[in-house]
Amino acid sequence: MGYSGATAPMPVVPCLPEDWWDPAWQAVKSPGTALLEPEICEAVHISGAPATGTSPAEDSGMESPEPPSWRQVLATTFELWSSRHLSWLRRSARRSSRLLAVSALGAGLVAVAVGTFGLTGALSPAPAIQVARPVPIPAPSGRTVRAASLPTTQQAARPVWLSVPKLGIRTSLIGLGLNKNGTLQVPSSTAVAGWFTGSPRPGMVGSAVIAGHVDSRAGLGIFFWLRTLRPGERVYVGRADGTMAVFTVTAVRTYPKDRFPTAAVYGSVPDAELRLITCGGVFDRSLGSYLSNVVVFARLTG
């Protein structure tokens, strides 16, 4: 198919021979060459012999040119044909060159992206999963007892369940102690949370501590959305005697594990408070763990 777009202006040809093999067409094969006058065109036959009288060469005293060889005729014919009909091919070649350059640029950008991921892929701010936000659940109902007002000789009942309605959490609580290296134990299951038995029972004066997993290879942990809690939201802790303590969130903080504020989280406080703890921040794939902890601070309000 010929090129149908815009083309360069063609040279003006007042007279073209009827046959491309006639020597007269060489006078018009290139722009700027001398063109035959209309009268000469009308007088010249395909064979190049004059129709009547003498030829122009004889009138001017010049010798008639020798006819070209077939090799010259074929070469010249192909040159003229290609100049008129294959210009689109040259333009296509130029477009192909530009396309090749763009492709090379794209390949370079991909290589840069791969190299960048190679540098940063070991550290990621969150697990590479897309999950829907949790659906809130109704707040639990039950009898509340402000255990902080109980005599110091009387303990509040043991905590047995936890509910965070905003995050759709309702889980049983297990007891957690300390590891041999002095760190807090974590629940053996990602589906439950645990109360640290070395801390006050929820509702008593002091900082009660409850911990849970953020996620695992199997999926989301019970505290995956803990980081999204906001001040003013409620947390409920049920006790073995059927009573419950109601806490209101006051702050949500993220701390690097190597600079964890132990005193602020576990230390003594003058009222009944609650700490919810899980992992968070950047995940180090080389270590297989998160580099920070998310801590929710809450105060007894019911």
Please determine, for residue 193, whether its predicted confidence score (pLDDT) is greater than 90: yes
Least confident piece of the model among 16-20, 63-67, 83-87, 155-159: 16-20
Same-domain check for residues 247 and 162: yes
> DSSP letters along the chain, please?
----S--PPPPP-S---SSTTSGGGGGGSSTTSPPPPHHHHHHB-TTS-BSSS--HHHHTTPPPPPPPPHHHHHHHHHHHHHHHHSHHHHHHHHHHHHHHHHHHHHHHHHHHHHHHHHHHTTEESS-S---PPPPP-PPP--EE--GGGS-TTSPPPPEEEEEEGGGTEEEEEEEE-B-TTSPBP--SSTT-EEEETTSPPBTBSEEEEEE--SEETTEE-TTTTGGG--TT-EEEEEETTSEEEEEEEEEEEEEEGGG--HHHHHS--SSEEEEEEEEEEEEETTTTEEEEEEEEEEEE--
147 pLDDT band, cuts 50/70/90, is confident
61 pLDDT band, cuts 50/70/90, is very low
Neighbours of 190 (CB within 10 A): 20
What are the distances in angstroms from CA 26 to CA 9, 56, 74, 265, 299?
19, 16, 13, 98, 102
- Cβ burial of 226 (10 Å; 0-12, 13-18, 19+) is buried
- Predicted pLDDT at 294: 97
Same-domain check for residues 81 and 96: no
Same-domain check for residues 114 and 153: no
81 pLDDT band, cuts 50/70/90, is low
- Which residue has better confidence, 147 or 18? 147
Residue range(s) defining the domain that contains residue 233: 143-300
Same-domain check for residues 106 and 242: no
Residue 3 maps to a domain: no
Instruction: Name the amino acid, one letter, at 22.
Output: D
Same-domain check for residues 96 and 241: no
Q: How many domains does the chain have?
A: 3
Same-domain check for residues 267 and 149: yes
What pTM value is reported for the model?
A: 0.59
197 pLDDT band, cuts 50/70/90, is very high
Please determine, for residue 233, whether its predicted confidence score (pLDDT) is greater than 50: yes
- Predicted pLDDT at 198: 95
Phi/psi of residue 113, each to 5°?
-60, -45
Same-domain check for residues 185 and 290: yes
Residue 135 maps to a domain: no
Residue 291 maps to a domain: yes
pLDDT digit string, tens, across residues 111-139: 444 344 443 445 555 555 567 889 999 99
Same-domain check for residues 109 and 66: no
Quote the CA–CA distance of 168 and 164 in Å, as a whole number: 6
Same-domain check for residues 288 and 170: yes
HSE-CB at 224 with a 13 A cutoff on CA atoms is 18
Residue 267 maps to a domain: yes
